[in-house]
Amino acid sequence: MTFVLAHLSDAHIGPLPRPKRRELLGKRLTGYINWRRGRDRMHNMEVLAQLVADLRAQNPDHIAMTGDVLNIGLAAEFPIAGAWLATLGDPHDVSFVPGNHDAYVRSSLSHLERTFAPWTGADAGGVPSYPYLRVRGEIAFIGLSSGIPTAPLLASGRLGTQQRDRLEIALAETGARGLMRVVMIHHPPNRGGASTGRGLSDARKLEAIIARHGAELIIHGHNHRHSVSYIAGPKARVPVVGVASASAIPGTERHRAAYHLYDISRENGVWSIAGRIRGMMPQSNEVVDLGSFGV
């Protein structure tokens, strides 16, 4: 039986609500200037709506959204972001992990936790925390939070000791159960996965955890482009797949709105993963298959 997973990221919902003057201090001021100087024109909500409609039409068994729904973490952005996330489907069928734009400044963090709680709740319940574990069929979804407040002009991420320790336990337990483990994170989890000032600061330690316990698939966003790389695991290489921005205006190979579909199956105890890209063709208003990729 095939399990269909859809993955999208970096929606960057607009238009940006008008900020209060007191909200434009520190990093937010830089981000607001960047938004007004052109970032707002890089992300198109009609394109995003069309992409989501196509995604829903594929009737996936689960949807993973790997962060950056917001732009500069304004309080007024969170209700809009939550309403948009609800359009993807029931929280039972949609999992979310935050990106750096969702955790833009420290004052964003309380809004972040409250707004996205329905989509980050672990099966075990209790107080939401990362990593969280959701099991759907034979698939274990492990959600990590790499989004942290940073200084102006930085977009780096970090997991931290507590989250890494919990991840190690989650990978070991779900691996012992024979589950297919899908790790969801916003930042690329591998060293060199993003440019200076934009990467995961503890990527080396995360790679060491994967080397000890493995995983079957790691998916991320952040770079706004499709990519496939690998991290060494205990028995085999672990595929690391990045997806393009779901709202990027089509027109160039680098900025083409897209999402991924994975057909996941198991035969004779061996997991098989087939990936497809669906997105916007340049100069087109149609969502089409852009090709398949192996992992």
**Per-residue pLDDT at 253 exceeds 70:** no
> Residue 39: its pLDDT value, please?
80
User: Comparing C-alpha atoms, which of 88, 191, 179 is closest to residue 142?
Assistant: 179
Question: Which one has a higher pLDDT value, 26 or 198?
Answer: 198
Average pLDDT over residues 110-123: 94
User: In which band, very low, low, confident or very high, does the pLDDT at 12 lie, cut at 50, 70 and 90?
Assistant: very high
pLDDT per position as a tens digit, 117-173? 999 999 987 767 899 999 999 999 999 999 999 999 899 999 999 999 999 999 999
Q: Is the peptide bond before 131 cis (omega within 30 degrees of 0)?
A: yes
pLDDT per position as a tens digit, 37-80? 878 788 999 999 999 999 999 999 999 999 999 999 999 999 99
> Residue 23: its pLDDT value, please?
87
User: CB–CB of 294/287 below 8 Å?
Assistant: no
**Per-residue pLDDT at 112 exceeds 90:** yes
Average pLDDT over residues 79-104: 97
Strand-pair category, 62-65 with 94-96: parallel
> Residue 250: its pLDDT value, please?
63
Give SS3 for 286.
Answer: coil
pLDDT per position as a tens digit, 219-246? 999 999 999 999 999 999 999 999 999 9
> Residue 252: its pLDDT value, please?
59
| CA 107 – CA 239 distance, rounded (Å) | 35
Q: What are phi and psi of 62, to 5 degrees?
A: -155, 155
Please report, rounded to a whole number, the percentage of residues in the chain having pLDDT higher than 90.
Answer: 81
Q: What is the pTM of this model?
A: 0.96
**Per-residue pLDDT at 179 exceeds 70:** yes
> Residue 269: its pLDDT value, please?
85
Average pLDDT over residues 169-198: 96
Average pLDDT over residues 174-203: 96
Residue 208 structure tokens: 């060491």
**Per-residue pLDDT at 254 exceeds 70:** no
Average model confidence (pLDDT) across the chain: 93
Sorted by where each begins, the domain ranges of the chain are: 3-294
User: Comparing C-alpha atoms, which of 211, 150, 141, 207 is closest to residue 180?
Assistant: 141
**Per-residue pLDDT at 85 exceeds 70:** yes
Average pLDDT over residues 100-116: 95
The domain 3-294 is placed in CATH, from the list 3.60.21.10, 1.10.10.200, 3.10.580.10, 1.50.10.10, at: 3.60.21.10
